[in-house]
Amino acid sequence: MKPADIDFMREAIAEARKGADLGEVPVGAVLVRDGRVIARGFNQPISSHDPSAHAEMIALRAAAAADGNYRLPDTTLYVTLEPCTMCAGLLVHSRIKRLVYGASEPRSGAVVSRSQVLAQPWMNHRVEVEGGVLAEECGALLTEFFRLKRQPAQG
């Protein structure tokens, strides 16, 4: 883990909270280049009616548009939850250098938990991976969100 990883993960957690405030599953992401955040995102599939609007996708789309390039070399993506298959593929195609994630996703994580998409030999780009950064805090956001969703409506 690099010294700045905790600070940038805290920024991703702040993004996740924005999503939770809108009723979205609280996953947040920030994309960093040269020690600066260049894009941010939080889950928005419900509010945007877009099944691909995961936090990672939102952040990388914003960065690619700002850079005028679909490739984002020399960047690190911080995300509060282990990416799914779609987002793992996105990291390869956009040439992300490094992924730092918080909580593991035992049901559908595609980096280490259920499959290892980034480690497959046929992938034409290698992404460095660091998992478990502020995992308890990231996981607690999700646990609390779903606990509140399961409570019967008061009224």
Q: Does 138 carry a binding-site annotation?
A: no
Q: Does 125 carry a binding-site annotation?
A: no
| Phi, psi dihedrals of residue 21, rounded to the nearest 5° | -60, -25
Give me the catalytic one of 56, 82, 128, 130. Answer: 56
Q: Does 54 carry a binding-site annotation?
A: yes
Alpha helix positions (H), 22-134: 45-48, 55-67, 85-93
Residues 85 and 64: their CA atoms lie apart, in Å, by 20
CA angle 142, 79, 67 (to 5 degrees): 145
Q: In the annotation, is 56 catalytic?
A: yes
Catalytic residue list: 56
What are the binding residues? Answer: 54, 84, 87
Binding site listing for Zn(2+): 54, 84, 87
